[in-house]
Amino acid sequence: MAESRRRFLQKTATAAAALAGTRFLSRAAGAETALPRAAAAGAPPWYRRVLRWGQTNITELDPTRYDIAWWRAHWKRTGVQGVIINAGGIVAYYPSAVPLHHRAEFLGDRDLFGELCRAAHEDGLAVFARMDSNSAHEDFFRAHPDWFARDAGGRPYRNRELYVSCVNSAYYDEHLPTILREIATRYRPEGFTDNSWSGLGRNSICHCENCERKFRAHAGQPIPRTRDWNSPAYRAWIQWNYARRLEIWDQNNRITRAAGGPDCVWVGMNGGQLSGQAEKFRDFKAICERAEIIMLDDQRRDNDSGFQRNGQVGKLVHGLLGWDKVMPESMAMYQTSSPTFRLTSKPAPEARLWMLEGFAGGIQPWWHHVGAYQEDRRQFHTAEPVLRWHRANEEFLVHRRPIATVGVLWSQRNLDFFGRDDADLHVTAPANGFMHALVRARIPYLPLHLDHVDRDAAQFRTLVLPNLGAMSDGQVASVRRFVERGGGLLATGHSSLGNEWGDARPDYALGDLFGAHLPEGHGARTESTRRRWATENAHSYLRLTPGLRARADADSQSGGAVPSPRIDRHAMLRGFDETDILPFGGTLEPLKLDSDAQVLATFVPPFPAFPPELSWMREPKTDIPALVLHEKSGAGRVAFLPADLDRRYARDNLPDHANLLANLIRWTARDDIPLAVEGPGLIDCHLYQQPGRVILHLVNLTSAGTWRAPVEEFIPVGPVRVRVKLPENVRARRVRLLVGNETPRPASEAGWIRFELKSILDHEVAVIG
């Protein structure tokens, strides 16, 4: 592990030097800029050096009012190094010679894409030619009806007045490649991007002749008529669709590189929500394995996941892509909350926090407007100061390695085959619950793909399985090896209970680690029973067990009258000394426990909440376990939480649930957490390492709008006391604050450094070393 870390740090030091030292001449006489095509010998390719992007999403009316000079000045004000310019697909913004390539209604004789492309190159900017390519107008449909998706009744799928094209037709294999070649050879953009490249989503099954013929050749059976996750045909159809999108990705890259040069990459666009990626058949892991750069189309937060999801998405995607590559994200300057208003400004604090959380997660900025002419000019003032700060501090924001001892496991296959049609309930909500609990506890963590446990787990002290119900035998074995080598494990709900298809196993595959098993003769865990279990909203509780001993203590009073036992509980239950019960809300079934398993909480069945006269426990104690600890000599600590507190914290936001989850993480990690942050407020903490220094991002999420968009003002918090455990190769003598422009005086002891921040408004970045 130490050797791999040294190799990474050497690599990042070289890349950072190349990034900082590369300057080039643009096509404007005498102007010195960062023109991608003029790279110095030995410099990284343009897609590793261009960090700040801008996009004006052109409407069909814009050719009549596009003020290119004004936008060039805005490019300069915001310090972008690249721009995304609408080129073709559904609508062409240049005089295309490709038959049926629909020109923008008000384009006339203008070559708007060409004008903008030339202007960008003159200013030394990279150009992504933006495509939007999954639909066409009626004249196209009439000319090629066999190129379009159809339902089981033969009716074409429509997107308003447009017709949805089929990914298995000549539209994707002939028409779009012709457009890509035309743009690449005529205008020489640096690359191509496309926000709707993957075609019809999985909620609509295409039954066109192309799909029927190709799927039968692939699977030997017709396309399924309906969704049925238990059907082998439907499962094969899901996998076949994923594979087709990867074929399109590879095909488009061969075309653009052949026509535009070896660095003319096609990179599509991808969303930050795993559920959205799955619905569109975009295999995030496989895409990142072949991508040179990821363009994230993830423009806003929602009230359930918050701003912190953006930081998590950055770390999740970098875990697949690598930390040496860049990942710009479309950051909308217009109102994107529900309802959406494309032409009015998003409140600046809302847009700014989304951007700053992205920076903290390793995401690069990409401002986004819809339309070249805006009557609400407030939206033009948001990006400039943020990108100016990014430019001044970019050396600390890229080419770095995250520091975390907690890994939260995930897989897109689990979302597909365990989540099925209820993925938000079974997969997203438990993962969000842990995200919120970790952010609240200020514990640095990283999302870790289930297939990467053996590769990456050496840096972690504990792994979290948030209701991962679909795990292959190989994935189970990798988790078991991690624990056998001394790593901790926290698993919840149905983790390891299903195979790679989500089909129920007779017992938890990791039951030997959990110390808990399904009893013989248990009822089948069907989709309907799982859904009822997950949606339960009962008046139930968890009873905390007394631990080693309990004694009466006359000094401890319950309600000021009745003596209550003074309880010496397990260290994992710290903070709960004054309560014997915790709220739950769900339901649990009996389990069979190993003799060396320890139960720290049991299930109290539901009883009436109303009227209050009837609100008393009918069955105060059961032996149904809600929390099980299991330790074996030489192995790591394991905590199994049958009670779905991760999902319930995401839904109910009860502090007791978050505190218990944080305690479990600390216990399984043996308190090996490299960061401690004390002070008021909700602060998201991200820790990184570069050669000779540590970088700490602190994002202040404390706001009246934290859980209800939009945020309209910042609420400063402080003082904030920070302690950081330093890596072996960092000798910290100085702390520098990149936002506050201060140098607090640090103190060091036993490999840790501590310092204090007087206040944090929206964010702070501390460079230590």
Is pLDDT of 19 > 90?
Answer: no
Reference 205, options 179, 173, 171, 231; nearest CA is 231
Q: Is residue 201 within 8 Å of 280, Cβ to Cβ?
A: yes
As a whole number of angstroms, the distance between CA 49 and CA 36 comes to 8
Q: What are the tens digits of pLDDT across the range 652-667? A: 999 999 999 999 999 9
Q: And the tokens for 24?
A: 């080039």
Binned at pLDDT 50, 70 and 90, residue 559 comes out as: very low
143 against 17, higher pLDDT: 143
Binned at pLDDT 50, 70 and 90, residue 689 comes out as: very high
Is pLDDT of 35 > 80?
Answer: no
The residue type of 346 is K
DSSP 727: P
- pLDDT score of 547: 52
Cβ within 8 Å of residue 54, ≥6 positions away:
74, 75, 78, 80, 82, 83, 84, 366, 367, 368, 383
Cβ within 8 Å of residue 279, ≥6 positions away:
201, 202, 203
C-alpha dist (Å) from residue 369 to 41, 197, 349: 36, 21, 17
Is pLDDT of 367 > 70?
Answer: yes
How many degrees, rounded to 5, is the angle at CA 388 between CA 387 and CA 393?
A: 95
Q: What are the tens digits of pLDDT across the range 215-238? A: 999 999 999 999 999 999 999 999
The residue type of 128 is F
- Whether the pTM exceeds 0.85: the reply is yes
Residue range 752-764: mean pLDDT, rounded: 97
Residue range 564-576: mean pLDDT, rounded: 77
Reduced to 3 states (helix: H, G, I; strand: E, B; else coil), residue 270 is strand
As a whole number of angstroms, the distance between CA 390 and CA 402 comes to 19
As a whole number of angstroms, the distance between CA 640 and CA 463 comes to 12
Q: Is 414 left (phi over 0), alpha (psi -120 to 50) or beta?
A: alpha
H-run or E-run covering 618: none
Residue range 662-687: mean pLDDT, rounded: 98
Binned at pLDDT 50, 70 and 90, residue 527 comes out as: confident
Three-state SS string across 398-426, please? Answer: CCCEECCCEEEEECHHHHHHHHHHHHHHH
Binned at pLDDT 50, 70 and 90, residue 27 comes out as: very low
Q: Is the dihedral of CA 404, 408, 409, 414 positive or negative?
A: negative
- pLDDT score of 593: 97
Helices 209-219 and 232-260 cross at an angle (nearest 10°) of: 110
Rg (CA), the chain: 28
H-run or E-run covering 558: strand 549-558
As a whole number of angstroms, the distance between CA 507 and CA 510 comes to 8
Q: Is residue 183 within 8 Å of 129, Cβ to Cβ?
A: yes
- pLDDT score of 33: 39
As a whole number of angstroms, the distance between CA 67 and CA 230 comes to 56
- pLDDT score of 569: 80
The residue type of 258 is A
Q: And the tokens for 508?
A: 């938890």
Please state the φ and ψ torsions of residue 334, each to the nearest 5 degrees. Answer: -105, 170
Q: Which residues of 206-230 are buried (b: 16+ CB within 10 A; e: fewer)?
A: bbbebbeebbeeebeeebbeeeebe
Residue range 676-699: mean pLDDT, rounded: 97
Q: And the tokens for 465?
A: 């399985």
Q: And the tokens for 704?
A: 């009246």
Q: Is residue 56 within 8 Å of 72, Cβ to Cβ?
A: no
Tokens 């639909």 label which residue?
135
- pLDDT score of 337: 78
- pLDDT score of 497: 97
Please state, as a whole number, how many other Cβ atoms lie within 10 Å of the Cβ of residue 426. Answer: 28
Q: What are the tens digits of pLDDT across the range 455-472? A: 999 999 999 999 999 999
Cβ within 8 Å of residue 422, ≥6 positions away:
527, 530, 531, 534
Residue range 277-302: mean pLDDT, rounded: 96
Reduced to 3 states (helix: H, G, I; strand: E, B; else coil), residue 396 is helix
As a whole number of angstroms, the distance between CA 435 and CA 341 comes to 29
Q: What are the tens digits of pLDDT across the range 430-453? A: 999 999 999 999 999 999 999 999
As a whole number of angstroms, the distance between CA 724 and CA 92 comes to 53
As a whole number of angstroms, the distance between CA 769 and CA 735 comes to 7
As a whole number of angstroms, the distance between CA 464 and CA 489 comes to 6
Binned at pLDDT 50, 70 and 90, residue 532 comes out as: confident
Binned at pLDDT 50, 70 and 90, residue 729 comes out as: confident
Q: Which residues of 734-743 are buried (b: 16+ CB within 10 A; e: fewer)?
A: ebbbbbbeee
Is pLDDT of 644 > 80?
Answer: yes
Q: Is residue 324 within 8 Å of 48, Cβ to Cβ?
A: yes
- pLDDT score of 694: 97
- pLDDT score of 554: 36
Q: What are the tens digits of pLDDT across the range 509-518? A: 999 999 999 9
Q: What are the tens digits of pLDDT across the range 38-62? A: 556 678 999 999 999 999 999 999 9
Q: What are the tens digits of pLDDT across the range 104-121? A: 999 999 999 999 999 999
C-alpha dist (Å) from residue 48 to 129, 254, 268, 329: 18, 20, 17, 15
DSSP 524-558: P--HHHHHHHHH---S-EEEEP-TTEEEEEEEEEE
Q: What are the tens digits of pLDDT across the range 470-526? A: 999 999 999 999 999 999 999 999 999 999 999 999 999 999 999 999 998 776 567
Q: What are the tens digits of pLDDT across the range 412-427? A: 999 999 999 999 999 9
Cβ within 8 Å of residue 755, ≥6 positions away:
721, 722, 735, 744, 745, 746, 747, 766
- pLDDT score of 528: 79
As a whole number of angstroms, the distance between CA 733 and CA 746 comes to 7
What is the bridge-based pairing of β-strands 581-583 and 541-544?
antiparallel
What is the bridge-based pairing of β-strands 135-136 and 445-449?
unpaired
As a whole number of angstroms, the distance between CA 616 and CA 709 comes to 39
Range in 210-214, 286-290, 338-342, 665-669 the model is least confident about? 338-342
Range in 275-284, 545-554, 711-720 the model is least confident about? 545-554
For the chain, counts of helices (H) and of strands (E):
23, 36
Mean pLDDT of the chain: 92
Q: Is the dihedral of CA 17, 392, 440, 348 positive or negative?
A: negative
As a whole number of angstroms, the distance between CA 525 and CA 750 comes to 50
As a whole number of angstroms, the distance between CA 317 and CA 623 comes to 42
- pLDDT score of 26: 35
Beta strands in 96-174, from DSSP E residues, in sequence order? 126-132, 135-136, 158-159, 162-164
- pLDDT score of 22: 42
Whole-number percent of the chain with pLDDT over 70? 91
Q: And the tokens for 230?
A: 């238990």
Q: Is 503 exposed, middle or buried (0-12, 13-18, 19+ CB in 10 A)?
A: middle
Residue range 53-81: mean pLDDT, rounded: 98
> How many CA within 13 A on the CB side of residue 401?
21
- pLDDT score of 326: 97
